Amino acid sequence: MARGEEPLLSGRPSSDHSDERNVEEEDALLTGQKQQQPRRYTWAFWREVGLLAWAVLATVLVIILAILYQHQQQTSNPKPSGGGWKNGRPTGKRNLIFMVSDGMGPTSLSLTRTFRQTVTGLPIDDVLVLDEHLIGSSRTRSTTSLITDSAAGATAFSCGQKSYNGAISVLPNGDPCGTVLEAAKRAGYKTGLVVTTRITDATPACFAAHVNQRGEEDEIAVQEVGEHPLGRVLDLVLGGGRCHFLPNTTDGSCRKDDRDIIHLAKKNGFNYVSDRKGFDGLNFGTGVKLPLLGLFADTDIPYEVDRRNMDDVYPSLDEMARTALTALQEATEDSDKGFFLMIEGSRIDHAGHGNDPVAQVHEVLAYDKAFASVLEFLDRDDVEGVLVGTSDHETGGLATAR
């Protein structure tokens, strides 16, 4: 063979395993079966095994440390009030604030966020306080409809059971169901309701009254001031709806009878305020003597977009919320029990019913402001507190499009 015509692989060096491979090939040719040879693991293989084992071990260690840290946070360093954990359950003095954005859906938030960014020149990544605390969404329906109303929605919130549209804390068979506010009161907690609609409207009514239909607002008013199977269950009431508390012989009344519910409230120990001057006298809660009934409008407190241009005739949701928080905080200062307070951004719903986007965004902004005030209160308060915020349903089919 001429030089330069060597076989293609003739110059290929033999590997360390060439002889072993030749023996394997010969055995295979003679027997017709490939001989299994013991596998030899290289350093690279064992290195990969070691790294994998270390990764698994490190992951398990991180998980264990996270669990121990969470347990330590839950069982130690309680606030001065004595709140803590025992056997996996909270102990000690606690406050619960339950907030309802009535009739507010995801598009309400989107529209309000965009409105605020546009009119104030904020960047597009600026968000509402509510956005920062969004956990998820919930499915709401009643026993009679795929779309709940505020009555059935609030019955579910207050009683933990579904009922028919229009039900005020009664079950489908008409039996009353105990509410979280009533349970709190019986356990020794102070209780309160703050709304911008009539205090006899569906959502507040479901926490402190029991009637078959939400339209029975005259009866709801009677129960809210103490003519109730459990006696007086409310310590603080701030909102509108004065007309349902006045006898039908009085100007401004919308009652069907001549009962004076304000007189009944006073008889049951309530202090009563009815105007801006009276509200200002409460000094944002430091001048409150419980029980307190504050009715600041004949029916609903005006939409926020109108209220703020009415020379402060009516208190805002934020003002009423802060007043209630301080009043209940001071009232429970020397008690081993806290308080339960329901705060409702009531008229988001009404703006939805009226297909009024201007009113809608200002109502959501007012609710967002009150939500922020509650968070600030919880941050500075010594007592352990829990804030739960939710909506009962969307209203009006609000949609935004290009």
Q: Could you give the count of Cα atoms lying within 13 Å of 74 in the half-sphere of its Cβ?
A: 13
150 is catalytic: yes
CA 12 to chain CA centroid, Å, is: 75
Q: Around Cβ 176, how many Cβ atoms within 10 Å?
A: 16
Given the residues 81, 101, 108, 150, select the one marked as catalytic. Answer: 150
Would you please indicate which residues are annotated as catalytic (active-site) residues?
150
